């Protein structure tokens, strides 16, 4: 399945998001274009001159492309290209219009398709592509400029449009690595290399994971933060090139190369955090010993942290987050952890938590992370499992959007029977599985190579070339 997902034609064949052919093999307008496959309502094809294919540039194997979901459920989209570009029917490859440099392509939802307007031309298609005539030109949407091309599709689960950036794997990584590990100095170059391999591997092993949304990966922390061509970093690009085409494999398959900001001194296994199966190369282990016997990530800003709420402020937050938690756990596939999610008091409803009475850590994982936090309100007791405690105990400031980690101690201040203040004293930032980014930076600064860093965080995984063509 994974290998199949790497292939452009296989992706289309398996019913995944309609993938555009690679730039070098895009069907050209002219003789042979499948006009008879076009619905009668379509406007007549516009002929545009284009150069003949250059045989020696034809790819030997499919280019590794992925679709990154940039925007969903948009009422309208205004897209541009910094150079001349084609507007194409994404399904057939038929050219619909030529777009001049900087000229807007306007799109809006039209029933089950996409209505478009470019200069004096307009029409409608099931899905639409904006392809630069030169792959060096960037395409842009409000909020960013991107390498590769745009695909516009009707949002599968909403009434608007979804904007997908179809981009080559290595170009995608250029828009990911600096936002994931930052822009460290030359002394920590090997940490950037390790991050590049982890991100490349994560990408390959998650291709098709968001198929129901019409693309491969989100451009956010839901997958990997991706900001396109804005803010690329020369050292990060160098690390990406230096490690290409390597990915981490175990048992012949790309590994689930999870990584997070700071493990707090001890990494953890998958099953301790999410209702998913463990992997042999994602182990619970001390992140060290680093300098002076401390953890490699001990200098990280959030190695130690504290978050506090007045009981009233937390009570307000819980009115939203506890019912959300119960709904989340009720969704399919989360049953392994789901029993029981909520034990009602007499007449209590999970939808209306009401007054906060108490919080209690009932169980921890061997790495010290919370396995079950009991939150008792007048409605009953909510049994909050694993990493979801971070979505329930949301910082009052909204920054960060969820609690930094599930590795914490609870501090309760009471007035008699009444809670007055709730605080958590924690360690680390993120889920703590796989590579610890701040630990990797510490290891690199101490002279460890990127291969050593990867062997420390993904024990037993091997480095092998990715399947498919990078360029």
Q: Please, which residue, 303 or 325, has the CB nearer to Zn ion?
A: 303
Give me the residue label for tokens 């440099």.
101
Q: How far is the CB of 255 from Zn ion (least distance, A)?
A: 18
Q: How many CB atoms lie within 10 A of CB 344?
A: 13
Q: How many CB atoms lie within 10 A of CB 92?
A: 18
State residue 390 phi and psi, 5-degree precision. -70, -25
Q: How far is the CB of 234 from Zn ion (least distance, A)?
A: 27
Measuring CA to CA, which residue among 380, 369, 308, 368 is closest to residue 344? Answer: 380
Q: How far is the CB of 374 from Zn ion (least distance, A)?
A: 28
The edge-to-edge listing of strands for the beta sheet with 246-250 is 253-254, 246-250, 462-465
Q: Please, which residue, 177 or 436, has the CB nearer to Zn ion?
A: 436
Q: Please, which residue, 150 or 296, has the CB nearer to Zn ion?
A: 296
Q: Please, which residue, 147 or 456, has the CB nearer to Zn ion?
A: 456
Measuring CA to CA, which residue among 134, 166, 149, 20 is closest to residue 79? Answer: 149
Q: How far is the CB of 457 from Zn ion (least distance, A)?
A: 9
Calpha distance 200→435 (Å, rounded): 13
The answer for residues whose C-beta is within 8 angstroms of residue 281's C-beta and 6 or more apart is: 248, 250, 255, 458, 459, 460, 461
Q: How far is the CB of 295 from Zn ion (least distance, A)?
A: 5
Q: Please, which residue, 244 or 263, has the CB nearer to Zn ion?
A: 263
Q: How far is the CB of 194 from Zn ion (least distance, A)?
A: 13
Q: How far is the CB of 296 from Zn ion (least distance, A)?
A: 6
DSSP string, 134-193: STTSPEEETTEEESSEEEEEE-TTSSSEEEEEEEEHHHHHHTTHHHHH----GGGHHHHH
Q: Please, which residue, 239 or 297, has the CB nearer to Zn ion?
A: 297
The answer to whether the beta carbons of residues 140 and 103 sit under 8 Å apart is: no
Q: Please, which residue, 100 or 286, has the CB nearer to Zn ion?
A: 286
Q: How far is the CB of 49 from Zn ion (least distance, A)?
A: 57
How distant, in Å, are the alpha carbons of 84, 299, 320, 349, 393 from that of 354? 59, 40, 11, 9, 16
Q: Please, which residue, 39 or 291, has the CB nearer to Zn ion?
A: 291
Contact residues for Zn ion, defined by CB under 5 A: 263, 287, 297, 436, 439
Q: How far is the CB of 452 from Zn ion (least distance, A)?
A: 15
Q: Please, which residue, 124 or 405, has the CB nearer to Zn ion?
A: 405
The structure tokens listed for 211 are 């198929």
Calpha distance 360→373 (Å, rounded): 6
Please list the alpha-helical segments (H only) found in 2-63: 2-5, 8-13
* Strand-pair category, 259-260 with 435-436: parallel
Classify the phi-psi angles of 293: left when phi > 0, otherwise alpha if psi is within -120 to 50, otherwise beta.
left
Q: How far is the CB of 400 from Zn ion (least distance, A)?
A: 18
Measuring CA to CA, which residue among 273, 256, 255 is closest to residue 264? Answer: 273
Residue 125's Cβ-count burial label (10 Å; 0-12, 13-18, 19+) is: buried
State residue 354 phi and psi, 5-degree precision. 70, -155
Q: Please, which residue, 263 or 393, has the CB nearer to Zn ion?
A: 263
Q: Please, which residue, 227 or 285, has the CB nearer to Zn ion?
A: 285
Q: How far is the CB of 297 from Zn ion (least distance, A)?
A: 3
């Amino acid at each position: 399945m994974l290998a199949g997902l790497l292939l452009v034609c296989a992706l289309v064949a398996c019913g995944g998001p309609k993938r555009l052919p690679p730039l070098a093999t895009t069907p050209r307008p002219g003789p042979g274009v499948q006009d008879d496959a076009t619905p009668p309502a379509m406007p007549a094809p516009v002929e545009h001159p284009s150069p003949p294919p250059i045989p020696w540039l034809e790819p030997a194997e499919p280019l590794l492309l992925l679709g990154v979901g940039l925007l969903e459920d948009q009422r309208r989209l205004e897209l541009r290209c910094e150079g001349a570009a084609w507007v194409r029917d994404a399904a057939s490859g038929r050219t619909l219009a030529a777009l001049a440099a900087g000229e807007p392509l306007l799109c809006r939802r039209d029933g089950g398709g996409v209505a478009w307007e470019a200069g004096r031309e307009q029409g409608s298609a099931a899905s639409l592509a904006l392809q630069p005539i030169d792959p060096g030109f960037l395409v842009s949407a409000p909020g960013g400029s991107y390498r590769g091309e745009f695909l516009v599709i009707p949002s599968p689960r909403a009434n608007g449009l979804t904007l997908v950036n179809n981009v080559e794997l290595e170009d995608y990584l250029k828009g990911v690595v600096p936002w994931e590990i930052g822009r460290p100095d030359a002394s920590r170059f090997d940490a950037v290399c390790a991050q590049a391999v982890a991100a490349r591997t994560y990408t390959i092993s998650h291709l098709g994971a968001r198929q129901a949304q019409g693309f491969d990966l989100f451009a956010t922390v839901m997958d990997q933060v991706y900001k396109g061509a804005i803010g690329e970093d020369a050292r990060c690009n160098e690390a990406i090139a230096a490690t290409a085409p390597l990915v981490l494999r175990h048992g012949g398959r790309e590994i689930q190369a999870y990584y997070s900001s700071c493990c707090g001194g001890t990494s953890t296994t998958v099953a301790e955090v999410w209702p998913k199966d463990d992997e042999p190369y994602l182990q619970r282990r001390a992140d060290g010993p680093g300098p002076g016997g401390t953890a490699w990530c001990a200098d990280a800003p959030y190695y130690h942290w504290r978050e506090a709420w007045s009981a009233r402020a937390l009570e307000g937050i819980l009115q939203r987050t506890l019912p959300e938690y119960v709904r989340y756990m009720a969704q399919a596939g989360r049953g392994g952890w789901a029993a029981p999610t909520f034990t009602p008091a007499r007449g209590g409803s999970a939808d209306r938590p009401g007054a906060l009475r108490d919080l209690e850590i009932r169980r921890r994982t061997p790495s010290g992370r919370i396995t079950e936090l009991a939150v008792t309100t007048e409605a009953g007791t909510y049994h909050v499992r694993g990493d979801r405690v971070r979505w329930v105990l949301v910082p009052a400031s909204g920054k960060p959007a969820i609690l930094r980690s599930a590795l914490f101690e609870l501090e309760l201040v009471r007035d008699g029977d009444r809670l007055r203040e709730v605080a958590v004293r924690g360690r680390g930032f993120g889920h703590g599985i796989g590579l610890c980014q701040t630990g990797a930076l510490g290891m690199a600064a101490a002279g460890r190579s990127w291969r050593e860093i990867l062997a420390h965080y993904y024990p037993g995984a091997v480095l092998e070339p990715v399947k498919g063509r990078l360029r």
